[in-house]
Amino acid sequence: MSKRDIGQEILDGVSAIKKGQGKRHVVMLPDVQSIRESMSLSQSAFAAMLGVSPRTLQDWEQGRRKPSGPALSLLKVAELRPDAVREAITA
């Protein structure tokens, strides 16, 4: 069994990234305004459903900030299954 050269593996990884060969994960941000409108909710009602301030929601819709963490996950679910989000929030 040969010994791993961790240092060389790191250097090889950095070199691959510089050459554009590294793995990249692209996270597609949901269109917050479209999701809200498809659910026929006002900004205030949608913000309350997500547990964020209306100002935060406005910032997301206008591209000044990006949702992250649990809010991003909930938005993705709302995009695919708005009925499930409504049911979960109102239960």
Tens-digit pLDDT profile for residues 26-42: 667 899 999 999 999 99
Helix spans in 1-90 (H): 6-18, 32-38, 43-50, 54-61, 69-80, 82-90
Residue type, 29: L
Q: Using 50, 70 and 90 to split pLDDT, how confident is the model at 66? A: very high
Q: What is the mean pLDDT of the chain?
A: 88
Specify the pLDDT at position 25: 63
Task: Provide the whole-model pTM.
Answer: 0.69
Give pairs for 21-29: CB < 8 Å, separation 24+. Answer: 29/66, 29/67, 29/72
- Is the pLDDT assigned to residue 20 strictly greater than 90? no
| φ, ψ at 37 (rounded to 5°) | -65, -35
- Is the pLDDT assigned to residue 23 strictly greater than 70? no
